[in-house]
Amino acid sequence: MKKIELDIYGIAPSQKGGSYSLILAEVNGDRKLPIIVGPFEAQAIAIPLEGIEVDRPLSEVFIYQIKEGIFYAQLIVDTTDAQTQIDCRTSDAIAIAVRFNCPIYTTEEVLEAAGIEIDEGYVQKPGRDDDAGIPNVGEQLDHSALSSKSIDELEEMLEEALRNEDYLKAAQIRDEMDKR
């Protein structure tokens, strides 16, 4: 079975309330693979793309099947002794993949069954320069309200956002602090 490499194309609000479409793109092709994920999974995937890095060994993620609308994925981990395949939820596998900067693959059969073409302007591309003007996955902060805050106030807001695990809000506050 030939593996086809995928890249994270972006994240878009889903038509299903409270969920998001994680859009994966064929690296050497035009097809996109939309996967519905919850808000926490979307946040877990978006945050590392915004620049937060963690170092751990990981080889790849492989989305190997779609059955009755459900994607099946494996984390494939290389150790010094062997390669281990771990079945897991696709959104969890992708969240781990972006944290460890490892490739994502699928098969021709999965792309044939679920690949789509999408409207480019509707998808957020976290951590990339071409996402200006597209709302963030989490709550969008009012930037004018942030610009009126002092550095001390922003630091307090940042600590609160981190305590509440609202990492998208924390990233927006961090960006405002970085501008100054």
Write the CATH number for 32. Answer: 3.10.690.10
| pLDDT score for 62 | 96
| pLDDT score for 108 | 95
Dihedral angle of Cα 105, 125, 116, 1, to the nearest 10 degrees: 0
C-alpha span between 40 and 45 (Å, rounded): 9
The count of structural domains within the chain is 2
Are 166 and 85 in the same domain?
no
The two tokens of residue 170 are 């924390």
How large is the average pLDDT for residues 44-68?
A: 75
Are 95 and 124 in the same domain?
yes
How large is the average pLDDT for residues 75-94?
A: 87
Instruction: Residue 126: count other Cβ atoms within 10 Å of its Cβ.
Output: 22
Q: Is residue 138 part of a domain?
A: no
Are 66 and 154 in the same domain?
no
Task: Decide which of 94, 111, 131 is a domain's last residue.
Answer: 131
| pLDDT score for 127 | 59
The winner for highest mean pLDDT among 14-23, 52-61, 122-131 is 14-23
Q: Is residue 22 part of a domain?
A: yes
Query: pLDDT class for 50, splitting at 50, 70, 90?
Result: low
Are 125 and 174 in the same domain?
no
Cβ–Cβ under 8 Å, residues 93 and 13:
no
C-alpha span between 141 and 43 (Å, rounded): 15
Mean pLDDT of the chain: 79
The two tokens of residue 136 are 């963030």
Are 159 and 122 in the same domain?
no
Q: What is the pLDDT of residues 126-169, one digit of tens each?
A: 655 544 433 343 444 556 677 788 888 888 888 887 777 666 77
Q: Is residue 137 part of a domain?
A: no
Are 48 and 117 in the same domain?
yes
| pLDDT score for 179 | 79
How large is the average pLDDT for residues 25-52?
A: 82
CA separation, residue 173 to residues 11, 137, 141, 154 (Å): 20, 15, 9, 7
Q: Is residue 136 part of a domain?
A: no
Q: Which helix (H) or strand (E) holds 169?
A: helix 167-179
Instruction: Residue 158: count other Cβ atoms within 10 Å of its Cβ.
Output: 18
Are 48 and 7 in the same domain?
yes
- Better pLDDT: 34 or 18: 34
Q: What is the span of the domain harbouring residue 32?
A: 3-131
What percentage of the chain carries pLDDT values higher than 70?
Answer: 76
Are 75 and 22 in the same domain?
yes
What DSSP string runs through 42-88? HHHHHHHHTT--------EEEEEEEETTEEEEEEEEE-SS-EEEEEE
How large is the average pLDDT for residues 39-54?
A: 71
C-alpha 84 chain-centroid distance: 23
Are 121 and 148 in the same domain?
no
pLDDT at 11 over 50: yes
CA separation, residue 162 to residues 40, 118, 119, 170 (Å): 14, 33, 33, 6
Are 105 and 62 in the same domain?
yes
pLDDT at 12 over 70: yes
